[in-house]
Amino acid sequence: MLMETILNLPIENKIFYAVLVFSWTVYLWEAYLAYRQRRIYRLTMHVPQELGKIMDTDTFEKSRLYQLDKSNFSFWSGLYSETEGTLILLLGGIPFVWKVAGTVTARFGLGPEYEILQSLSFLILATLFSAFTGLPWSIYNTFVIEEKHGFNQQTLGFFLKDAVKKFIVTQCILLPVTSLLLYIIKIGGEFFFIYAWLFTLGVSLVLVTIYADYIAPLFDKFTPLPEGELKEEIESMSKSISFPLTKVYVVEGSKRSSHSNAYFYGFFKNKRIVLFDTLLEDYSPLNKDGEPETDTPTEDKSKLKVRLTPLRRELGHFHVDAEMSSIQFSPLPLSLQMNSFLCFFLFAVLIGQKELFMAFGFYNSQPTLIGLMIIFQFIFSPYNEVLSFCLTVLSRRFEFQADSFARGMGRASELYSALIKLNKDNLGFPVADWLFSMWHYSHPPLLERLRALGSTKQD
> Which residues carry out catalysis?
314, 403
Return the H-helix or E-strand segment holding 271: strand 270-276
The 3-state secondary structure of 157-182, one letter per residue: HHHHHHHHHHHHHHHHHHHHHHHHHH
Cβ neighbours of 206 (radius 10 Å): 11
Contact predicate 145/73, CB 8 Å: yes
As a whole number of angstroms, the distance between CA 318 and CA 329 comes to 9
Known binding residue 46? Answer is no
CA-wise closest residue to 14 among 381, 378, 355, 366: 355
The closest of 334, 365, 366 to 185, measured between CA atoms, is 366
Alpha carbon distance 224, 253 (integer Å): 14
Q: What is the DSSP string of 55-119?
A: S-HHHHHHHHHHHHHHHHHHHHHHHHHHHHHHHHHHTTHHHHHHHHHHHHHHTTT--TT-HHHHH
Who's near 141: CB < 8 A, 6+ residues apart? Answer: 73, 77
The sheet carrying 262-267 orders its strands as 222-224, 245-251, 270-276, 262-267
Cβ atoms of 224 and 247 closer than 8 Å: yes
Note whether 305 and 230 are within 8 A (CB). Answer: no
Judge whether 342 and 329 are in contact, CB under 8 Å: no
Distance of CA 258 to the CA centre of its chain: 19
Please state the residue numbers annotated as binding site.
317, 399
Q: Which residues are annotated as a binding site for Zn(2+)?
A: 317, 399
